Amino acid sequence: MELFSMPWWSALLAIILIDLVLAGDNAIVIALAARNLPPEHQNKAIMWGTVGAIVVRSAMTVGVVWLLKIPGLMLVGGLGLLWIAFKLISDTSEDEHEGSGATTFWGAMKTIIVADALMGVDNVLGVAGAANGDFTLVVIGLLISIPIVVLGSKLVLRLVEKWPVIIHLGAAVLAFTAAQMIINEKLLDPIFDGGETINLLARGATYVMAIAGVLGLGWWATRRQENAGTETQSI
């Protein structure tokens, strides 16, 4: 593809639009993972979390042909993302937030990088397809997405501080993304791929079970932690 030609600009626009969509997921993961850090570590977590997310996506884009050959990858990634969404919504234990800032910071980094690696598979395939094999286009698109992720993460953090219910909305978005990955798994095409009523019901049930399961189990885990804390204080 010739540099700065009309097809080049069209492909770049498509990649930027895809990256804008991806930035929403990234911003939610980074903000939720960093929300319990001390204020002086939050900006650091957002910046390095963004860098890590971009590095992971770049590496995955380079190996996209290899990734396509792994059977069950989307299913495993979707299930892993469901677990991370649950952990982000249920991780309210005070004990975890105590201790050194470095330990807490690296815990947040681990969550951010693992979550991005899991949910990035489907999105990387879209970016690689839009680039038509031009890695320069992919890199430019990823660089443009950096400030979007950083600003988006800071915005989500501010909103979470003001309206904690956004934590649950963020977890629901991640659960929706996880369900989408599971539905797009090629091994499960006989269940989800088709226009039959049973296929449509299977898709709808997957979305409902993923979102309701994460929110329901998150609520249960939080209540359990609160009750345990109350019992400990009363002793």
Instruction: Give the separation between CA 235 and CA 233, rounded to whole angstroms.
Output: 6
Q: What is the pLDDT of residues 148-161, one digit of tens each?
A: 777 888 888 888 88
Chain center to CA of 167: 13
pLDDT, residue 203, reads 93
In a 3-state reduction of DSSP, which class is residue 141? helix
Instruction: Give the separation between CA 32 and CA 9, rounded to whole angstroms.
Output: 34
Residue 118: which of 83, 156, 168 has the closest Cα? 83
Instruction: Give the separation between CA 84 and CA 36, rounded to whole angstroms.
Output: 16
Q: What is the pLDDT of residues 116-143, one digit of tens each?
A: 777 666 666 666 666 766 777 777 776 7
**51 contacts 111 by C-beta, under 8 angstroms:** no
Q: What is the pLDDT of residues 204-216, one digit of tens each?
A: 999 999 999 999 9
Q: Mean pLDDT across the stretch 2-31?
A: 75
pLDDT, residue 95, reads 41
Mean confidence (pLDDT) of the chain: 77
Instruction: Give the separation between CA 232 and CA 235, rounded to whole angstroms.
Output: 5
Residue 78: which of 234, 215, 209 has the closest Cα? 209
With 0-12 / 13-18 / 19 or more C-beta atoms within 10 angstroms meaning exposed / middle / buried, residue 233 is: exposed
Measured over the CA atoms of residue 40, residue 46, residue 49 and residue 50, the dihedral's sign is negative
Domain boundaries, given as residue ranges, for the chain: 6-234
Measured over the CA atoms of residue 80, residue 85, residue 90 and residue 95, the dihedral's sign is positive
- pTM higher than 0.85: no
For residue 71, is pLDDT > 80? Answer: yes
Question: For residue 168, what are the CA distances in angstroms to 1, 20, 205?
Answer: 43, 22, 20
For residue 221, is pLDDT > 50? Answer: yes
Residue 88: which of 56, 115, 52 has the closest Cα? 115
The phi, psi pair for 3, rounded to 5°, reads: -60, 130
Instruction: Give the separation between CA 99 and CA 187, rounded to whole angstroms.
Output: 44
